[in-house]
Amino acid sequence: MRKSEIKRRTAETEVDLLLNLDGTGKNDIATGVGFLDHMLTLFSVHSRFDLAVRCKGDTAVDDHHSVEDIGICLGQALKKALGDRAGICRYRDVTIPMDEALILAAVDISGRGYLGFDLPVPTEKIGAFDTQLVEEFFMALTREAGITLHIRELAGRNSHHIVEGAFKAVARALRGATRVDPELSGAVLSSKGVL
């Protein structure tokens, strides 16, 4: 089974994260940031990754440190669970409609961390959640996982729908890219022989 566990302790946060890439979408999320809990829950369901996250953060300051550090931990967990990346499909792109919003996510599990982010969110807040933190989360995730990820908003007016569409699209893209391709017979999908 492709599983990993990450523990991160800083002066700002304490994060414990468990990830199983070959799961069923079972989740247990308590980050202290309500909107992020909602996004990570649907991320788990739509990726079919089992995900457990616990975070104690300095949310009295703001949610930034918690959101970024959870992105760091999820990226590290993904990298660790994938190991040498042998036999995986590697690429996937998905377009998700969420009511009026239409979001594209494309991923390459390349070993190179890069985020292409074009997700104009029309409001600064969704409830109490700072929408700038969406980019911070995905930036931390891509850097630590060593993946190339592009997220594009093709249409959208409602901030909640746009962000939820992004998390669902990324989840579905990662689900496809991390799947084992039996035709590869355990080989790495790269002309270099490594990712």
Question: Is the confidence at residue 1, as pLDDT, over 90?
Answer: no
Residue 185 has pLDDT above 90, yes or no: no
- Which has the closest alpha carbon to 38: 142, 129, 157, 102? 129
Burial bucket for residue 16 (CB in 10 Å: 0-12, 13-18, 19+): middle
Residue 50 included in any domain: yes
189 occurs within a structural domain: no
Residue 4: which of 44, 43, 52, 40 has the closest Cα? 52
Neighbours of 108 (CB within 10 A): 18
Q: For residue range 105-136, what is the model confidence (pLDDT) as tens digits? A: 999 999 999 999 999 999 999 999 999 999 99
In a domain, 180, yes or no: yes
The pLDDT score that the predictor gives to residue 193 is 62
Using DSSP's 3-state secondary structure scheme, residue 190 falls into: coil
Average pLDDT for 166-181: 97
Answer whether residue 191 is part of any domain: no
DSSP string covering 3-41: EEEEEEE-SSEEEEEEEETTS-S-EEEE-S-HHHHHHHH
Q: Model-level pTM greater than 0.85? A: yes
- In angstroms, rounded to a whole number, what is the distance separating the alpha carbons of residues 117 and 105? 10
The number of folded domains in the chain is 1
| Range(s) of the domain holding residue 172 | 3-184
Query: Which residue type occupies 44?
Result: S
Query: For the chain, what's the residue count?
Result: 195
CATH number of the structural domain spanning residue 103: 3.30.230.40
Asked whether residue 83 carries a pLDDT value surpassing 70, the answer given is yes
- Nearest-angstrom CA–CA distance, 69 and 8: 8
**What value does the mean pLDDT of the chain take?**
95
Residue 193 lies in a domain: no
Mean pLDDT for 22-29 is 98
